[in-house]
Amino acid sequence: MKPSPCIRLPAATRVRHAFTLVELLTVIAIIGILAAILIPTVGAVRKTARDVRCKSNLRQLGVAVHLYAGEHKNLFPGGNIAPDPVNGIPRITWDKALIPYLGRAETNYEDSQRSWLVVCPSSAVQPDTPDPQYSANKLLFSASNSPLGMDRVENRSLVVMIADGCLRTDQVNTQAHAVLETGGAGLNVSTSDPDQAVSVTYGDSMIDYRHGGDSTHVVMVDASVRAFKKGTLRSRNFLAGD
């Protein structure tokens, strides 16, 4: 007896329903809510990352200053002019003087050899070349041929060495001034009050509060990095102490 041939039954008909307008609007609303939650979070994460990089830059610059001082009679780098020309270049700002201590060429002090560590990732302008966006404490680094000796600083953990600098308003608007002018830092060095508040409005030779709109990053003489809110820096944070 021959087996009966298999009989294929038709598959159950599947009914496909399209999204209703209500369902579609619900999905769009959920996506909008998630975007509203995630986009600010991503922005905050990026800001935090930039702040961390800025502090890392300053810390490495602080260490480089100590390395420089160790080979130059314990002196800070000159703010604007080196005591002796290097390779025929008479003007050497502190950021150029630190080039050999930041993993760059030891015999080349050209602008192009500056380390990108001098560029603040939180600056409103990101240059195409490593233009320095940090400014040094003029009362330590000097703006001439007489930088201070590091051993003259009485409390290294309280005195600012390098800080976020305002970008210049002239044609070189991608970089900060080499040093914070005494007036730019808001200092009245003749005052007997060590707690005199530092001005936050003085041209473009001043500290920039570019982190969160009201905070600046600085590296102290002991190479520690700190953040200060507007109005909290005092003249004692810039004076060597004697």
pLDDT tens for 62-104 read: 999 999 999 988 989 877 655 555 445 455 788 888 888 887 6
Asked, for residue 232, whether it belongs to a domain, the answer is: yes
Burial class (CB in 10 A: 0-12, 13-18, 19+), 46: exposed
Reading the block at residue 180, the tokens are 């914070």
Per the CB < 8 A criterion, the answer to whether 102 and 117 are in contact is: yes
Specify the amino acid at residue 47: K
Higher pLDDT, 84 or 54: 54
Asked, for residue 4, whether it belongs to a domain, the answer is: no
Instruction: For residues 209 and 220, give the distance between their C-alpha atoms in angstroms, rounded to a whole number.
Output: 17
Question: Alpha helices, DSSP H only, in 77-226?
Answer: 94-97, 138-141
Residue 30 domain boundaries: 22-237
Residues in the chain: 242
Residue 193 has pLDDT above 60, yes or no: no
Average pLDDT over residues 207-212: 88
- Phi, psi dihedrals of residue 70, rounded to the nearest 5°: -60, -25
Instruction: Report how many domains make up the chain.
Output: 1
pLDDT band for 41, please (50, 70, 90 cuts).
Answer: low
Alpha-carbon torsion, ordered 41, 42, 44, 47, to 10 deg: 180
Asked, for residue 16, whether it belongs to a domain, the answer is: no
Instruction: For residues 114 and 130, give the distance between their C-alpha atoms in angstroms, rounded to a whole number.
Output: 6
Higher pLDDT, 8 or 56: 56
Average pLDDT over residues 177-200: 57
Asked, for residue 3, whether it belongs to a domain, the answer is: no
Mean pLDDT of the chain: 77
Task: Say what the pLDDT of residue 11 is.
Answer: 54
Task: Say what the pLDDT of residue 89 is.
Answer: 47
Asked, for residue 208, whether it belongs to a domain, the answer is: yes
Average pLDDT over residues 205-226: 89
Range of lowest pLDDT (94-103, 143-152, 160-169) = 143-152
Average pLDDT over residues 120-136: 86
Among residues of the chain, what percentage have pLDDT more than 70?
68
Higher pLDDT, 195 or 171: 171
CA atoms within 13 A on the CB side of 154: 7
Asked, for residue 68, whether it belongs to a domain, the answer is: yes
Task: Say what the pLDDT of residue 62 is.
Answer: 96
Question: Cα angle at 142 between 141 and 144, to 5 degrees?
Answer: 130
Q: Are strands 225-229 and 179-180 parallel, antiparallel or unpaired?
A: unpaired
Which residue's structure tokens are 């905050």?
Answer: 44
Residue 182 has pLDDT above 50, yes or no: yes
